[in-house]
C-alpha cells in the first residue's frame, strides 16, 4: 500500500476494531481543525459507537468533534410522519451534543453538501454509521470514492458487529449458537469517552434551527401520511419509555408479549429504527432488572432473543440478500410451493387501496391495519397475521410482498427497516422458517387463520380498541 494510502499509526488501533470499516484510507489533512461525525442512522449522542470512535480519534489527533446532519428532501420512501419523528429526535441530539462537548450542525438544501462541509471545517477524518439497506449503502460507497480524506463507518446499531458473522443464516437455531458465543465480548457497558478537546468553533457555522420546520419547501414530500401523537421522537422519550417498560411490562413480558390488546411489549421499535436509542442500552437495562430480581432470567432471555437475536438476524438478512425487499428473496422450498399453488382460488381478493383503508371482511385484520395507519405502529403478533392474510388475498405472492412492503414502509414509524423486511419475508416467502402443512394458496408456507389467532388473546377487545365492530365474527 502506498504511504499516502496508509492509515496513520495513531489511528491504526481504532481502525482494527471489528465494528469499524475503513472505507477510505489515507493520511489525515495537515493543519486539520476537527473530526467530523456524519450522523445518519444512529441519531443519538448517548451509547453511539460511531460517535465514540470519532471522539477517540479526535483525542488521539488533538482535535474536537463536530456532528453533521444533512436533511435531504427525498429520503427513500419517507413521508411527513417520518420527518416529523426525526425532527423531534434531532432536537435531543443537538442538546445532548452540547452537553457532551461536541458540535452539532444541521443543514438543508441547497447548503447541505457533506463534502463541502468537510472542506469548510478542515476535517481530518470522517466517521459515519453503517446502514445495510441498499440505497444508504450505495451512498456510502459513492462517497468513499469521491472523498480526499480518510472515511470510516461504524456498525453502531447492533450489539454484535455484523462482520463477526459475515454471512446470513437460514434459521434462528443456526444463528443462536454463534450469537451466544459472541455476546460476552460485546454485551458490556460501553466506556464513557469524553472529548479531551471540547468543540469551540473558530468561526460561525450556519446551522438550521430545529425550532423551524425541517421540511419547509420540500414540494415532493408525501404529506398525506401525517404525524402521530402516539410516539414522540428522540433519545429522551426513548429512555423514558425504556424505564417504563422495565418497571411495568418486563416482569410479565413472557406471558403478555403475544397479547396485542394489552401493553405488554417494549414499543421501542420506532426509537431503535431512528437510532434514538441503541440496542445495547436496552439490553443492559433488561439484564440489570433481571440481576435485581425485577424479572425472571427466562423472561430476560426471551426479550433479549427478540431484541438481539431476531433483530440482528434481520440485519444479516438485509446485508447479505440483494432482494431483501421483494419476492426474489423467497426460500427455495417456499418459492417452489407458492408457484405450485399460484393458481389456487383466493377466498377474497382485495386491491392495495382496499387494504390500505382496512376494507376487508376480516375485522381482526382491519383492526391491525388501522393500528398501523393511526398510530404508526403495529403489535408484532399482529404483524405476522397481517402479512399472512395479504399473501392469501393478493393476486400472487410477488404482489403480496410488494404490497406488504409498501404499506409497512408508508405507515410504520419503524418501516424501511431490516426488521420489517425480514418479517415480511418470514410471513410471505418462508425466510427464517421451515415447511409446514400443505394448504391451498400457502402451499407449505405457514398459514394463520383469524379463528386460531383470535383464540390466543382477547381479539374482540383489540378490535374495539382500534375502532372496529365485534358484532360480526372475524373470518
- Same structural domain, 245 and 344: no
Q: Please classify residue 406 by burial: count the beta carbons closer than 10 Å to its beta carbon, then call 0-12 exposed, 13-18 middle and 19+ buried.
A: middle
Give the pairing type, strands 151-154 and 65-70: unpaired
- Same structural domain, 311 and 262: yes
Domain end, chosen from 294, 320, 346, is at: 320
- Same structural domain, 131 and 246: no
d(CA 178, CA 159): 13
**C-alpha distances in angstroms, 380 versus 257, 263, 385?**
9, 12, 9
Residue 400 included in any domain: yes
d(CA 40, CA 51): 11
- Same structural domain, 343 and 306: no
Residue 169 included in any domain: no
Residue 311 included in any domain: yes
**Residue-range definition of the domain harbouring residue 297:** 235-320
Q: What residue has cell string 451512498?
A: 139
Total count of domains within the chain: 3
Domain end, chosen from 320, 352, 374, is at: 320
Residue 201 included in any domain: no
Residue 162 included in any domain: no
Residue 68 included in any domain: yes
Residue 134 included in any domain: yes
- Same structural domain, 252 and 146: no
The C-alpha cell at 75 is: 429520503
- Same structural domain, 283 and 345: no
- Same structural domain, 364 and 390: yes
- Same structural domain, 436 and 353: yes
Give the pairing type, strands 123-129 and 20-24: unpaired
Which regions in the chain score pLDDT beneath 50? 1-4, 472-475
Residue 405 included in any domain: yes
Helix, strand, or coil (residue 82)? helix
- Long-range (24+ apart) CB contacts under 8 A made by 130-138 are 130/21, 130/41, 130/154, 130/155, 130/156, 130/157, 131/40, 131/41, 132/162, 132/315, 132/318, 132/319, 132/418, 133/318, 133/416, 133/418, 134/322, 134/324, 134/325, 135/76, 136/40, 136/41
Domain end, chosen from 129, 156, 183, is at: 156
- Same structural domain, 63 and 124: yes
Q: Enter the pTM of the model.
A: 0.96
- Same structural domain, 310 and 420: no
- Same structural domain, 384 and 293: no
Amino acid at each position: 500500500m502506498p504511504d499516502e494510502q496508509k492509515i496513520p499509526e495513531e489511528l491504526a488501533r481504532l481502525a482494527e476494531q471489528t465494528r469499524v470499516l475503513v472505507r477510505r484510507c489515507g493520511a489525515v489533512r495537515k493543519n486539520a481543525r476537527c473530526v467530523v461525525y456524519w450522523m445518519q442512522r444512529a441519531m443519538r449522542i448517548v451509547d453511539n459507537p460511531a460517535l465514540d470512535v470519532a471522539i477517540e480519534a479526535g483525542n488521539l489527533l488533538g482535535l474536537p468533534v463536530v456532528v453533521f446532519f444533512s436533511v435531504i428532501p427525498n429520503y427513500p420512501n419517507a413521508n411527513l410522519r417520518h420527518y416529523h419523528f426525526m425532527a423531534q429526535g434531532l432536537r435531543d441530539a443537538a442538546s445532548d451534543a452540547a452537553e457532551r462537548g461536541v458540535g452539532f450542525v444541521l443543514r438543508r438544501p441547497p447548503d447541505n453538501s457533506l463534502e463541502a462541509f468537510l472542506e469548510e471545517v478542515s476535517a481530518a477524518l470522517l466517521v459515519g454509521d453503517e446502514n445495510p439497506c441498499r440505497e444508504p449503502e450505495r451512498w456510502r460507497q459513492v462517497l468513499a470514492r469521491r472523498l480526499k480524506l480518510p472515511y470510516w463507518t461504524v456498525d453502531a446499531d447492533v450489539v454484535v458487529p455484523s462482520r463477526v458473522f459475515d454471512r446470513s443464516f437460514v434459521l434462528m437455531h443456526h444463528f443462536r449458537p454463534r450469537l451466544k458465543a459472541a455476546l460476552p465480548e460485546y454485551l458490556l457497558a460501553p466506556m464513557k469517552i469524553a472529548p479531551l478537546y471540547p468543540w469551540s468553533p473558530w468561526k460561525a457555522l450556519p446551522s438550521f434551527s430545529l425550532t423551524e420546520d425541517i421540511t419547509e419547501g420540500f414540494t415532493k414530500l408525501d404529506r398525506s401520511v401525517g404525524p402521530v401523537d402516539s410516539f414522540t421522537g428522540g433519545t429522551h422519550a426513548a429512555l423514558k419509555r425504556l424505564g417504563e417498560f422495565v418497571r411495568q411490562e418486563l416482569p410479565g413480558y413472557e406471558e403478555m408479549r403475544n397479547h396485542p390488546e394489552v401493553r405488554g411489549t417494549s414499543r421501542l421499535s420506532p426509537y431503535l429504527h431512528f437510532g434514538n436509542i441503541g440496542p445495547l442500552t436496552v439490553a443492559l437495562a433488561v439484564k440489570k432488572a433481571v440481576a435485581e430480581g425485577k424479572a425472571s432470567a427466562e423472561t430476560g432471555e426471551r426479550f433479549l432473543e427478540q431484541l438481539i437475536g431476531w433483530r440482528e438476524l434481520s440485519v444479516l438478512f438485509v446485508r447479505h440478500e440483494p432482494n431483501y425487499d421483494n419476492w426474489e428473496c423467497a426460500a427455495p422450498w417456499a418459492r417452489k410451493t407458492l408457484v405450485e399453488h399460484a393458481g389456487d382460488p383466493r377466498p377474497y381478493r382485495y386491491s392495495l387501496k382496499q387494504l390500505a383503508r382496512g376494507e376487508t371482511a376480516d375485522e381482526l385484520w382491519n383492526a391491525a391495519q388501522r393500528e398501523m395507519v393511526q398510530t404508526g405502529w403495529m403489535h408484532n403478533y399482529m404483524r405476522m397475521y397481517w402479512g399472512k392474510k395479504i399473501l392469501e388475498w393478493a393476486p400472487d405472492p410477488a404482489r403480496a410482498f410488494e404490497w406488504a412492503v409498501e404499506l409497512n414502509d408508508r405507515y410504520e414509524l419503524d418501516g424501511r427497516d431490516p426488521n420489517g423486511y425480514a418479517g415480511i419475508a418470514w410471513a410471505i416467502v418462508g425466510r427464517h422458517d421451515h415447511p409446514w402443512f400443505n394448504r391451498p394458496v400457502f402451499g407449505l408456507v405457514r398459514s394463520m387463520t383469524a379463528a386460531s389467532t383470535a383464540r390466543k388473546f382477547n381479539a374482540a377487545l383489540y378490535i374495539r380498541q382500534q375502532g372496529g365492530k365485534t358484532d360480526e365474527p372475524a373470518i
